[in-house]
Structure 1
């Protein structure tokens, strides 16, 4: 138990002295645990107390005295064990110390007011949650404000049960969020959880496990660290949990997340000390600890290996370095205050010396005598740190908060003004509940420049420092603040980390450690759940065709937009290229050249026939029909150009309809030629009435009627469901096919079917008339040309249906060119041969002779 006073005027000097005294108690006692204690059956006596009287008293209880028990057994004599390092915190000790503060000076008379009753206005403590909770039960009954500076209390119902409780630490929920953000920052998804085996550990796991899962993080295992209540349990734990150590070593998490308080650290150190002796290799892991944790060692442990924790990361309550603190530590002496046994006990332990005339100085003791000139800065950091740490900083703020509350009481009540005794102000009859009224509204900046205030739950509004622990072989410890956690920041931006300041365990060779159940699934693959395993353990499956994964560890591959397609590795989407039969590509150029070439040939043939229009061979084959046929063939060739180039609204309307109409005219001309041959032969018979049908009337009516019917079909097509430009996104993997949608496939095949019908009729009639004695075997040439025409278009239909995109268009262009050139070649090449190369055969006598 430690107590301190505030007396007299509120000067900076008095406040500084009071503040430093209380910080010293916490800094040297709570952290160092360095008092010699024996095992007692009755733990009620208080080994040390420090008291100075005053008008107003602030009490502090530090977590210094621990007691260790054996399991009670009536089968043997109780063990008589003397131990230098206390282990177990007892509730009985805490209640006794708290009631002593509320009792008469140097007497234990709780719940009574006596002459020398302590005017206790507030309590500060304790270092761990169990001590804080035990204190709060008593302080709440007496309506005394309590400022707890160490571990967190359970959140549920705290404010209702302990309305006078103030926590100099932030809400624990902020710490949970910070740990999750820390794991996400480094990409650690596979961790080992260590938690103290008590109610606090249960609550931690119930909160943290779902939170980890919701953020894509799994735990490999959960290890419960027991609280040491008995000596026998300590030995049993070291033996029973060697299996745990083996599991921890064999499992692959690189990161351990530990939730516990300082006693748990001693348990863990015992396990790590025993395990290598039994052949287990040292652990090279990343230890992530909460702010409850403390890496301080007992003095008996100062030579124990601490390198296992090198590179550990912890969230520590934000601290700063007040002005003058370093100087105060350097001036510290074990003889600084009479009646203070705390400092002397600490001094004996860490410097391994004895004070003259002390009770524990025996003859033959080889320990040196403590001179008081020993240097604290010479101690290893694991035993004593020269900087103000989080717990000490919390005490510092707690004292200042109480001082400001007292100042507010003084300023708010005029009756205190003028009450001066020898130039000093007094506070008669200030009650603890009055301090509570002002304390909860306190807002100020301390001498280190940090703002101090409480929220509506009585919790200090502050954040956490992200600390990297650097452990040196000589026992020195350096805390490196490598980031911060600001609970008031926007969601997702609470954590700030400076990666370049981090020092990792030597086993990682300063490379960022990885902690995953298995290797990442790289882009192009997605995660596939393993049956019976946690969701962080998975196989990697390649993305299906048409899908990608652009990041590591994607749960599912995603489909590219319609206008994009996956690259070769299926890691990203690439914009599809527009595809159509273009004049800029080889296929389009070849077809255009063929079109122009055949058009020129047709025009040349037309010119030859027009030049020799008076010759018998031109006259004998119905000159007008020949001109119509040649012009229609010329236009058929030219219509192929409508199929080359980017489809547009006008182009799509004209493509099939223009081609169908022109080709129908050509086929109608051929049909008229065939009918003319048949009718001419029938008209030569004596008494035939067919003479009157021979002539222009027959040919004109045949061409007009056959062409009109095709025009009617095309008109119906355009009026009901006309062709239109369209984009085919799916037929080609890497292309967007620009095409003319036929609108109505039925009408399209009706047009083709009608042309096929004309070709078939022409073929049948020409075939039947192939042996008739016409001029220059006209019927035979038509028969062969129709055979070529029908062969081309019968082949066209299945080929057209089996191709896509620009190749479908190329098939149709090729069919147009092939069928048109077949007609041109089969019908007109023999005539051109006679006209140009055998002009002697182009005479009337030859014509008559052939007919006969």
Structure 2
């Protein structure tokens, strides 16, 4: 009900219900106001509307309200604008002849001229929504759908905004071929707006990519004084600032109408500015007015960049303007070929002078052949004017109306008509009971609703004969693509507009710029792209100093401070004379330096000693000394110590991601494996002593071989889980540290998570302290060869090393922190190896007489 209220109000404004006719059984609706619009119409089963700029200006009547106001008078016939309207007529005729698209349905059209005036364009849009019939019965038509099912237009963003604000309330789809304002992508405000031309957002991105390609950091921006220009100015400034690619020397708004003083001021500012690049988001009429002033002041040497609104404007491509506009680079609407269009244009006939359905055709005919349809003004014939017969030879006329070599807006119109036709075709092919509407119903040709077409228009996806795909995104925007044009100034004074590239949005969502720079004509003496910067690049030995109150592109050059020659010195350092960059030296714990060699040698020596001890124990595995000390755990301790020695090698060499992740994980797991074996061994020693006392045999059943292996495995798995969580949540990684030295880069592994590193060390320390306490309790056992004493001494060394490690590690910078950690690993490993296995090897190798069961079991003296 809320949606229908605006339509009811507008209908009440436009129609009076006449109850005074007693002879009529039913009341009739009469138009409250008849708009006198230039139009062109054709009947059909379904009518599509169109809004086009056939005249490019209009004269407003003087409003005194002492009599009925006069209508606006359209002036300045625009043949390309009329060609736009005829392109829609051609597309509809082509669809009607297509046996596969909308079979058994005839499309008609109602096309209106907006005269480049908002009030006329808005009046035409309301006429399309409500109809222009002077009188009809309410029950026959007032309860039906709108006179048109969809509108192609409008040509201006401002007009499209105004029209869509109202027409969108009725969910009447509008497909624009020329309105680019990014504001129209707001689906909440413009729910029924679609377009076959990219939005200004993409056009701004394309412009910035071209600026980046040629290094133009300093440019001027001119925009039209309407929604199109103002939205572009805001978007362009925002994008340019965010990209950091350049600055705007000035931003000026081009006035509408005759305003010579304002234009003079703008051109004088352009002449004084150091910016050699001028970007113009304006319309043809803006550029025509601007160029008149540019010619007067003879402002040359500028590189113009044209928006799609005037990039292919033939009215500006004249020998008079080429000294100024030659070499212009423009973002142009995608060009397409429309086969058969020229033959259709040649068949254009104005029809009878009394036919009010084709006023737009007759206006074109009068403009082309400088004639008038009867009845002409009396002074027309006296001045030598001729009467139009309607049979004049159009092909012999000198008119750009027949020029179909550069179809750009026409190509978008063609796609817009086909989009509506395909949506209508999809809607009429709906199978009853499988439709998308209430109760799985379908739309019917007898009672079509515009909002039903909206559903199918949003999902339309087809390929036109030229090969381009047509579809709309969630905002009603088509897949964006632009041609890049270059205005070539020929030696004979002629003009040729070349396609030198394309910018488009890829399927992945990125933007792609393809530019053939060899084909570009530059309107400068050396035929090279101009240089446009506010301040030249600083010489070696100097740096940029921003000017207060000036854009960031404007700066002074001052001598560099020590160690810097530019604003990016992360990997480089200045030479002694500060005139060029030299690569900073890289520092890390290397295998080539003496410290690295010493630590590597110690690591390999420890590994070899472990292997030798393992060989000795294996060879003498049947002797009492080996058997009495739980040979299985002893072998496992030796293997884990070998891993401890080898893991220190991961701390030496250039840090890489895998070495940073592995070094602490391997270190932590290896030491936990070693210490957990020592802990279990300590518990077994205490259990054996307890079992030797009366009634203590029950202790041994808790310390069998299976329980020992299980305990070691469980304790090691806890450390493995800690390492896994640490690496997954905050993995250690290599890092270039420039904080320690200005002229050096210190490669180091940051731990990622200090908490993870602390938990890893804390768990090792916890197991070591428990082992130490248990061994200390058993230090006075009466055996001659007391294992608890050796474990107590080894754990004392181990804890002392790691307690000293923490403050040393924290206070050691760069590679020395790695060296401290390697030293702690080697020192603790050697301490465990010597304290646990030194006495045993001494007995096995040097005192074999003590390697007996009697000697081991006897009490010490």
Contact 1:443 1:451 in 2 (8 A): yes
**Counterpart residue number, 1:253:** 275
- Over alpha carbons, which structure has the higher Rg? 1
With over 3 angstroms needed to count, the CA separation of the structure-2 counterparts of 1:109 and 1:137, relative to structure 1, is: farther
Q: In 2, distance between residues paired with 1:446 and 1:543?
A: 60
Contact 1:376 1:384 in 2 (8 A): no
Q: Deviation of residue 539 (structure 1)?
A: 2.4
With over 3 angstroms needed to count, the CA separation of the structure-2 counterparts of 1:124 and 1:198, relative to structure 1, is: closer
**Counterpart residue number, 2:249:** 220
Q: Does 1:269 align with 2:270?
A: no
> TM-score when scaled to structure 1?
0.52
**Counterpart residue number, 2:81:** none
> Superposition pairs for residues 708-747 of structure 1, below 5 Å?
none
Q: In 2, distance between residues paired with 1:198 and 1:174?
A: 19
Q: Does 1:61 align with 2:51?
A: yes
Q: Deviation of residue 397 (structure 1)?
A: 0.6
Task: Give the secondary structure class of the aligned counterpart of 1:67.
Answer: strand
Q: Deviation of residue 60 (structure 1)?
A: 0.6
**Counterpart residue number, 1:354:** 371
Unaligned runs of 5+ in 2: 1-32, 78-113, 436-443, 587-591, 599-737, 746-861
Task: Give the secondary structure class of the aligned counterpart of 1:486.
Answer: strand
**Counterpart residue number, 2:261:** 239
Of 267-276 and 107-116, the range deviating more from structure 2: 107-116
Q: Does 1:537 align with 2:557?
A: no
**Counterpart residue number, 1:466:** 484
Q: Deviation of residue 428 (structure 1)?
A: 2.2
Contact 1:125 1:148 in 2 (8 A): yes
With over 3 angstroms needed to count, the CA separation of the structure-2 counterparts of 1:480 and 1:378, relative to structure 1, is: farther
- Of 571, 575, 595, the match for 1:566: 575
**Counterpart residue number, 1:446:** 464
> Superposition pairs for residues 74-153 of structure 1, below 5 Å?
84-85=75-76, 89-104=116-131, 106-107=133-134, 114=141, 119-153=147-181
Task: Give the secondary structure class of the aligned counterpart of 2:47.
Answer: strand
With over 3 angstroms needed to count, the CA separation of the structure-2 counterparts of 1:362 and 1:171, relative to structure 1, is: closer
Q: In 1, distance between residues paired with 2:412 and 2:392?
A: 28
> Superposition pairs for residues 419-438 of structure 1, below 5 Å?
427-438=445-456
Q: Does 1:373 align with 2:393?
A: yes
Contact 1:548 1:558 in 2 (8 A): no
> Superposition pairs for residues 365-764 of structure 1, below 5 Å?
365-366=383-384, 372-375=392-395, 379=399, 385-413=403-431, 427-470=445-488, 478-488=496-506, 494-505=512-523, 507-522=524-539, 525-544=542-561, 546-549=563-566, 555=567, 560=572, 566=575, 570-573=579-582
Q: In 2, distance between residues paired with 1:650 and 1:240?
A: 75
**Counterpart residue number, 1:48:** 38
Contact 2:223 2:280 in 1 (8 A): yes
With over 3 angstroms needed to count, the CA separation of the structure-2 counterparts of 1:150 and 1:227, relative to structure 1, is: same
Q: Deviation of residue 184 (structure 1)?
A: 0.7
Encode CA deviations 1:510-559: one digit per residue, 9 max, x unaligned.
2111111132335554323233322111223454565445xxxxx45566
Task: Give the secondary structure class of the aligned counterpart of 1:60.
Answer: strand
With over 3 angstroms needed to count, the CA separation of the structure-2 counterparts of 1:513 and 1:438, relative to structure 1, is: same
Q: How large is the RMSD of aligned CA atoms in angstroms? A: 4.7
Task: Give the secondary structure class of the aligned counterpart of 2:141.
Answer: coil
With over 3 angstroms needed to count, the CA separation of the structure-2 counterparts of 1:355 and 1:520, relative to structure 1, is: same
Task: Give the secondary structure class of the aligned counterpart of 2:213.
Answer: helix
Contact 1:547 1:558 in 2 (8 A): no
> TM-score when scaled to structure 2?
0.52
Q: Deviation of residue 474 (structure 1)?
A: 9.1
Q: In 1, distance between residues paired with 2:313 and 2:306?
A: 13
Q: In 2, distance between residues paired with 1:108 and 1:542?
A: 84
With over 3 angstroms needed to count, the CA separation of the structure-2 counterparts of 1:482 and 1:327, relative to structure 1, is: farther
Q: In 1, distance between residues paired with 2:396 and 2:301?
A: 31
Q: In 2, distance between residues paired with 1:123 and 1:647?
A: 79
Contact 1:67 1:89 in 2 (8 A): yes
Encode CA deviations 1:632-680: one digit per residue, 9 max, x unaligned.
xxxxxxxxxxxxxx9979999xxxxxxxxxxxxxxxxxxxxxxxxxxxx
Q: Deviation of residue 357 (structure 1)?
A: 4.3
Q: In 2, distance between residues paired with 1:647 and 1:82?
A: 91
Contact 1:192 1:221 in 2 (8 A): yes
Contact 2:216 2:532 in 1 (8 A): yes
Q: Deviation of residue 186 (structure 1)?
A: 0.8
Contact 1:289 1:314 in 2 (8 A): yes
Contact 2:224 2:286 in 1 (8 A): no
